[in-house]
Structure 1
């Protein structure tokens, strides 16, 4: 069947048909359907409607509408103190937008009607900073927020004569920064949008340079990039159409990582075929036969590898957190299309170019090389016969000293994995921004001049059932709070009473977030003391810290659900492909151990070297799905080679030859995949930097430790039992004696 598929896509005529079909598909899809980048929705909800913070937000919007909305905190600052002219300008700005509201504007405090001496009392104690809260509607998208803040900036420039939003905060002039949830949202979208182009350019250049260094052929270096380009050209409009129909939601973060994944994994699949094709060209004069042989030898592993990654990524559909759930379809669809391109378009391109693909180091059979020498009258410039000397030596080591290799590698990996117990996590998005981001600069002023909790206050609402509940007094003595407001009755239900509280610490920190259950317990106790039945159903807490608490709980739930299912599905796929229970178990265990080792080593880099206090809470789940799925790719390719050779030679020889044969291509593929993820570390967004570093480390561990050392050594130690209960367990009669003596 594989031979037949190869002839269909890479025959003398069909190769051109294959290329034409791909060109037509991409051209038509791009013409009739929107590009996925046009369908990005960067303010999509990450928590479902049943989460406590979301329910509380709805109640707050209904009962306290004047205080609801998405706040953009405009932080005014002047070293030496704000002047009367500064306050007058702020009042004029308030009056202007009260009369001329921007799209999505929900509320604006009437600062223009407050006497100047009273207004000055709301500034910081030293009189150098003032916060103007500008509320947008809660469901405002990122484009609305961006245009609204740009309108504020434009009008401020007209009123003050200079642009305070561009002024240096330490320069003695009036400066302004937009912070708060709206400012953070605008900065986040801007950072991801700016990252798209630079990420694409950096990834393409890195892959191109690595391919040139590895294969020293400019034509060959371009072939995987062409395949990735076609795959992206097909995936983008399909995803765009799905988003347009409302079947999926895509955001800029997902598209950025999808681009990296396509280049990394896509290039790997191409290299699996290209490497085997080059090898067979040194044995087979007919390029078509060599290509069909290469296709037959590698297509099964490519299809299995791609299918494994697609299935693992689709499991993300079971995640409840929106940002993770939204990854599933773009990632799995793009990998599926890339795998199809690797099995159709790449063979067609290789069939069209033939040996020219490898110019100037063209692989030829010995007979062809002799003929070339005789024809030219001198020695031809050819690349030396491919032989992976390093891989050959490793193959000897893992078959002669398997116990030593297993012990050394396990000690190293377990020691690295033990470092995960030191890891600190955070759900604070603001901390992942560059320090010169406007929202982060504004927050720094609020934290220094006011209380940090003012950036993200929390509203606690309770149903008093008409009873007297001392809310303010209940919370006033809590050591981690800086301010508690007077209780306010609800608009339509006066029994619902609310107080606004501010933390005396960073409200986005895990320390503050972890106090949300404490606040709920205190409120429930107050209701219980007042004789109100079932108080746990009569307390609602809204605000960003409450949202982040629900985010953390959702992340923990997703890890408990997604990780076991991914492991289970990959185990089933391996079992079907290898027909070996034993091999499936140790392949899964080695990749899982590699994941924890990558997480531990990543913490050393992120925390001990780079100085980050914590890593983003979503990263462990992201990294697990990618590393387990992609790590099994290399194991599948290696074990496939060993399994095939096992049919014609003793297991020891099969392992040695398998490690030698696959070492070069897997090393090349691993370097490229790790490099593409490492490109994320060049971006100004810490969540992507941390994800890129940890994933790159994991890929390198799989490439240089797990695949060449640990897996073949375990296979050698297990002997025929590595194949149990498959047919390979029978093997050659002399294997058991030979392996026993060698071990």
Structure 2
């Protein structure tokens, strides 16, 4: 089937038909369906309804309805203390917001009716900070919150005669920041929306520059970018339509990583075909026959590689955490479309441009070179038949002559890096992934310093007393990590359900606070048991952001245990089917998994030891694993497929030497581009993407420069014919 497709897309007339079909498909899809960026939903739930914190939120909503909505905590602060003028400005702003509510605003305390002297009593002990809550409707999405936040800023500028939100924290002037749940949502939306365009531009420029440096041909640098552009324009409306129908949910983070994945993996597929085409042009005078031969050599590996990545990414559908689950369809569909473009559109473009694709370094046969030299009256310059380099030949000789040395050194280096994973600290705190100068984070820093940090995200601890006296408050106030515990309140629908509002003495988003949720639950269950209530496990509910983060951590751990083994198993099956070798499948899987742990360990050195990050986001290991294992096997497939074909006509060691030498340059080029595209994520202001980009880029480089050229061929040499054992 692949050969039939190859003949069609590279035909003299059908190459134009192929190009026209792609243009029509992209045009029709873009005209009929919305783009994926138009269907972003950045406030989708990440936890399923059966999670304890979600059930607790439902109980709180039913029994203790809170009409206040989503709080935006406007933090006011001035070094040396807030002045009477500052309090008057706060009162004017409160009156303005009461008269002219901002979009999404639901309620706010009547600070305009409180005398300045009374307001001062609500400030911090040193009088330098004051928190003014504004509540938005619970149905408000991030776009509405952002619009409301901007209008608050506009009204504040009118009330104060200057923009306090523009003042620096250390300026000595009055400054204001919006923090709390609404502020965090506003910042998240702003960070991701600004990241999309900058990420696209940076990725395109990087890939273009790398392609120009590698191939030194303007046309050849443009062809992969054209293919990626068409793939994106085809995948975007399909995903947009799926989102419009409600079949999938897409967010800004998924779209950002999808863009990087398309450029990185897509360029890899293009380069693998282009390298075969260039080699064939040095042996075949007819560009059509050369392209057909290149497709025959490369299409199987490209199709297998793309299929492997698609299957691995689809496994993310089994994840329970929403942000991970939502990645599956956009990523797998985009790679599928890119693989189709690599096998159809790219060959058509190469057929159209022919040898001119490589201008000014045009590949020609020996006869063509001689004829060209005669016409120019110069000496003949016969070029090599294959795209090898002296360094590639050196590596090929090294892995076949000293395989034990190569394996031992590589395993020591990768193993030492992998051991560093035991030092890694994880967090599920969204706020810590924001830049330190983001408004919500700066506002929270003031609250944490001037007030009790637990005020930013209080908890609600609810129990079913069954009409008994339960001494839970007495137990809670004894806990040293709680700064405040309210009096009990009975539920509206069921008076036996009693609630206590509690606040931590520490950052409620921190790992330390999150890890205390089980102890809080056990405290409540113990109080119920002491009151003679049976089965207390089902009669305790804890709601709030800290409890949500605890469930997030537990869900992430569950996804790791489920997704990672299945990804390994499916890729192992695909390798076994493609290579028809049990031994090869085993050592290829093991080398890529070892490379992943080494990347995670080195990534921790980069983000923690060098960049000073206290912890990495809990989702990063799973994200990186799926990408590195799937994409890492791409390079192994490209290399091993070359060795497999050559061993049919030559001794194994010679096949390994030539396979390493001939695939070395293209895989190295592809690896550099793929690592570079992921490294672009490190330029974004979102720490989660920075960490993911750095770790994944390191993993790709390890695969490119250690696993693929050294470890895998050295192991193949040591195993000899056993490497092909079924």
Does TM-score exceed 0.5, indicating one fold? Answer: yes
1:12 alignment counterpart: 12
Which range is displaced more, 502-511 or 613-622? 502-511
How far apart, CA to CA, are the structure 2 residues paired with 1:76 and 1:65?
A: 29
Instruction: Give yes or no for contact 2:282–2:364 (8 Å, CA) kept in 1.
Output: yes
1:562-610 Cα deviation digits (max 9, x unpaired): 0001001101101110111111111111100000000001111111111
Q: Map of 1:653-668 to 2, 5 A cutoff?
A: 653-668=654-669
How far apart, CA to CA, are the structure 1 residues paired with 2:490 and 2:144?
A: 31
Instruction: Give yes or no for contact 1:312–1:569 (8 Å, CA) kept in 2.
Output: yes
1:279 alignment counterpart: 279
Shift of 1:383: 7.8
1:269 alignment counterpart: 269
Number of residue pairs aligned between Structure 1 and Structure 2:
725
Q: Report whether the alignment pairs 1:97 with 2:89.
A: no
1:535 alignment counterpart: 536
1:525 alignment counterpart: 526
Cα distance change of structure 1 residues 342 and 722 upon mapping to structure 2, 3 Å threshold: same
Instruction: Give yes or no for contact 1:235–1:334 (8 Å, CA) kept in 2.
Output: yes
Question: Please, what TM-score do these two structures have when normalized by structure 2?
Answer: 0.98
How far apart, CA to CA, are the structure 2 residues paired with 1:645 and 1:384?
A: 18
How far apart, CA to CA, are the structure 2 residues paired with 1:106 and 1:45?
A: 22
2:587 alignment counterpart: 586
2:559 alignment counterpart: 558
1:658-692 Cα deviation digits (max 9, x unpaired): 11111111001000000000111111111111100
Q: What secondary structure does 1:460 align onto?
A: strand
Instruction: Give yes or no for contact 1:474–1:526 (8 Å, CA) kept in 2.
Output: yes
Instruction: Give yes or no for contact 1:35–1:237 (8 Å, CA) kept in 2.
Output: yes
Cα distance change of structure 1 residues 703 and 317 upon mapping to structure 2, 3 Å threshold: same
Which range is displaced more, 593-602 or 535-544? 535-544
Q: What secondary structure does 1:130 align onto?
A: strand
Name the Cα RMSD after superposition.
1.6
Q: Map of 1:123-138 to 2, 5 A cutoff?
A: 123-138=123-138
How far apart, CA to CA, are the structure 1 residues paired with 2:652 and 2:80?
A: 80
Instruction: Give yes or no for contact 1:471–1:487 (8 Å, CA) kept in 2.
Output: no
Q: Map of 1:21-420 to 2, 5 A cutoff?
A: 21-66=21-66, 69-378=69-378, 386-420=387-421
Shift of 1:81: 1.7
Which range is displaced more, 705-714 or 380-389? 380-389
Shift of 1:405: 1.0
Q: What secondary structure does 2:66 align onto?
A: helix
Cα distance change of structure 1 residues 67 and 507 upon mapping to structure 2, 3 Å threshold: farther
1:155-192 Cα deviation digits (max 9, x unpaired): 22222221111122333322210001111111011111
Cα distance change of structure 1 residues 468 and 86 upon mapping to structure 2, 3 Å threshold: farther
Instruction: Give yes or no for contact 1:363–1:382 (8 Å, CA) kept in 2.
Output: no
How far apart, CA to CA, are the structure 1 residues paired with 2:94 and 2:497?
A: 31
Cα distance change of structure 1 residues 499 and 109 upon mapping to structure 2, 3 Å threshold: farther
How far apart, CA to CA, are the structure 1 residues paired with 2:358 and 2:389?
A: 18
Instruction: Give yes or no for contact 1:634–1:707 (8 Å, CA) kept in 2.
Output: yes
2:673 alignment counterpart: 672
Q: What secondary structure does 2:166 align onto?
A: coil
Which range is displaced more, 48-57 or 347-356? 48-57
How far apart, CA to CA, are the structure 2 residues paired with 1:331 and 1:452?
A: 38
1:729 alignment counterpart: none
Which range is displaced more, 18-27 or 144-153? 144-153
Q: What secondary structure does 1:65 align onto?
A: coil
How far apart, CA to CA, are the structure 2 residues paired with 1:280 and 1:198?
A: 38
How far apart, CA to CA, are the structure 1 residues paired with 2:383 and 2:318?
A: 50
Cα distance change of structure 1 residues 211 and 26 upon mapping to structure 2, 3 Å threshold: same
Q: Report whether the alignment pairs 1:438 with 2:439.
A: yes
Q: What secondary structure does 2:508 align onto?
A: coil
Cα distance change of structure 1 residues 94 and 57 upon mapping to structure 2, 3 Å threshold: farther
How far apart, CA to CA, are the structure 2 residues paired with 1:557 and 1:91?
A: 49
1:13-61 Cα deviation digits (max 9, x unpaired): 0000000000000011111111111110011111111111111112222
Q: What secondary structure does 2:344 align onto?
A: helix
1:428-483 Cα deviation digits (max 9, x unpaired): 11111111100011011001101111111111111222222233322112111222
Shift of 1:72: 1.2
Q: What secondary structure does 1:507 align onto?
A: coil
Q: Report whether the alignment pairs 1:694 with 2:695.
A: yes
2:627 alignment counterpart: 626
How far apart, CA to CA, are the structure 2 residues paired with 1:535 and 1:144?
A: 41
How far apart, CA to CA, are the structure 2 residues paired with 1:288 and 1:146?
A: 56
Instruction: Give yes or no for contact 2:249–2:326 (8 Å, CA) kept in 1.
Output: yes
Shift of 1:228: 0.3
1:572 alignment counterpart: 573
Shift of 1:380: 8.7
1:425 alignment counterpart: 426
Shift of 1:695: 0.2
1:741 alignment counterpart: none
Instruction: Give yes or no for contact 1:652–1:716 (8 Å, CA) kept in 2.
Output: yes
How far apart, CA to CA, are the structure 1 residues paired with 2:422 and 2:502?
A: 34
Cα distance change of structure 1 residues 106 and 540 upon mapping to structure 2, 3 Å threshold: farther
Cα distance change of structure 1 residues 89 and 173 upon mapping to structure 2, 3 Å threshold: same
How far apart, CA to CA, are the structure 1 residues paired with 2:669 and 2:500?
A: 60
Shift of 1:68: 5.5
Which range is displaced more, 260-269 or 518-527? 518-527
Q: What secondary structure does 2:132 align onto?
A: strand
